[in-house]
Structure 1
Amino acid sequence: MTELVIAMALFVGSHFLMSHPLRAPMVGALGEKGFLGVYSLVSLALLIWAALAYGGAPDQQLWFVYFWVVIAGHVLMLLASILYVGSVLKPNPALVGAQGSLAKISEPQGAMRITRHPMMWSFALWAIAHIAMNGTFSTLVFAGGIGFLALAGARAQDAKKARLIGAAWTAYAAKTSFWPRLRWPGLTPVIAGTVLYAVLVAAHPYVFGVTTRLWEFIL
């Protein structure tokens, strides 16, 4: 468990360090593309380490997982899948390097009508669903770290984009919400997100070695 805690702390901490205080000197030394390459490699390596540590961590059960918790978790995963797909189907100024899309839109479109950070919220909903449906301390550390990074990173991203882009971002942010709102994202992200959710459920036992427990309550 100690290894998992250390790996997740480094994974989360490295994101904030490289995204903020270390970004300028790293870009100066490596260039923008070089910085993104190192950032991606470091993040991927630490995530793989954390995932391996999670797989080997002892399962300390924190609560009993009731039927309704599993169902609620699957609902959250469906919503997360729709938000994730929707985050790339329409212009999304919140994505890295996508601030140029601000000039192409007058109003938020698709999933950006729900929240200006649909991809980050998809990770957060994934984390909440998995913590609830597993109920283990190791999942709380692993998924909780990813969920915290997603939402704290989105907040920090708001401040950074407001500082770097200025009025264009401020005007866009005023038309959107950080917190998800009940809005219709369009038929395409709903259909595509539902397909993604179905694929994840079907592939889960083959990729991760455990079922999502959905069939236990349907069959």
Structure 2
Amino acid sequence: MIALVVAALIWVLLHVGIAGTRARAALAARLGEGGFRTTFSLASALAITLLVLAWRSAPTAVLWSVPRPLGWVLVAAMLAAFILFAGSLMARNPTSVGQGGALSAEPAGVLRITRHPMLWSFAIWAAVHVVGNGDSASLVFFGAFLVTAALGMPSLDAKVAARDPQGWAGFAARTSILPFGAVLAGRNRVAWRQVVLPGLVGLLAWAAMLHLHPVIFGVSPLPY
């Protein structure tokens, strides 16, 4: 378990302690933007490999059991995660806003729901597996991804705001970190036609994973 905790800390520190801080700017200035991206990608690949290997070999203990009704809620939550992930691939990535006038454009698709659809998809995925598995090793493993996604949202906001403060202020006013936050506050509205395609793609991917999950991971996500 110690190896798993260390691997989880390495993953979190790499993405929260470097990617979204002044350390990134310092390293990028020394290595160049391309050099930093390459080095960071290699470090991330190594970190996630260590994390997965540590998780597979870690001893674990059951911490709680999940009631069947809650199990179905978790299955439904994963549908939302798949839709947000699909939508994030079809919308302008928040890390690229501020380039080419993207900040002045009206948010489209799932960006109207949240300006961090991909990070929310990872956060939901991680939270579902923390709750659904209910064991100590999963708490550490999936918890590392949950922490990274949750802390990554304000960190990403700060990075893009520093790039274009005026443009970001307008973009942030029309969007929200919390899903439907800007909509409920009256600062935006959901254009349902723009989320039909992400919804269909997410639904198909969700259904495929429900079918393939026992084959790939050896356990069914359905709470039979």
Same fold, judged at TM 0.5 (above):
yes
Out of 186, 191, 195, the position equivalent to 2:195 is 186
**1:127 paired residue number:** 126
> Using the alignment, how far apart are the partners of 1:118 and 1:186 within structure 2?
12
1-structure distance, mates of 2:163, 2:141: 32
Uncovered stretches (5+) of structure 2, i.e. residues with no partner = 184-189
- In structure 2, what is the Cα distance between the partners aligned to 1:159 and 1:21? 11
Q: Which residue of 1 aligns with 2:85?
A: 84
Aligned to 2:164: 165
TM-score, normalized by length of structure 1?
A: 0.90
* Alignment gaps of 5+ in structure 1: none
**Residue aligning to 2:31:** 30
What value does the CA root-mean-square deviation take over the aligned residues? 1.8
Mark the CA change 1:112 to 1:47 in structure 2 (over 3 Å): closer, same or farther. same
- Decide which moves more: 10-19 or 107-116: 10-19
Instruction: Give 1:44's aligned amino acid.
Output: A
Residue by residue over 1:64-96, the C-alpha shift from the partner in whole angstroms, topping out at 9 and shown as x without a partner, is: 11111211111111000000010121223x13x
Counterpart position of 2:15: 15
Instruction: Give me the whole-angstrom Cα distance separating, in 2, the residues matched to 1:105 and 1:193.
Output: 28
Q: Secondary structure at the match of 2:160?
A: helix
**Cross-structure match for 1:198:** 207
Q: 1:41 to 1:98 in 2, by over 3 A?
A: farther
CA distance in 1, matches of 2:60, 2:16: 29
| Shift, 1:162, TM fit | 0.9
- Equivalence for 2:136: 137
Give the drift of 1:104. Answer: 7.5
**Counterpart in the other structure of 1:114:** 113
Q: Scaled by the length of structure 2, what TM-score is found?
A: 0.88
CA distance in 1, matches of 2:161, 2:88: 20
Percent of pairs identical after alignment? 36
How far did residue 56 of structure 1 move?
1.5
The CA distance in 1 between the partners of 2:204 and 2:15, in whole Å, is: 31
Q: Does 2:218 align with 1:209?
A: yes
For 2:104 and 2:200, locate their aligned partners in 1 and report how far apart those are by CA, in whole Å.
Answer: 23
- CA change 1:58–1:102 in 2 (3 A) is farther
Tell me which amino acid in the other structure corresponds to 2:142.
Answer: A
Letter matched to residue 137 of structure 2: S
Tell me the amino acid that sits aligned with residue 66 of structure 2.
Answer: V
C-alpha distance after superposition, 1:35-88 (max 9, x if no partner): 111111111111111111111222311111111121111111100000001012
Q: Which amino acid aligns with 1:70?
A: G
Q: Which moved more, 1:62-71 or 1:76-85?
A: 62-71
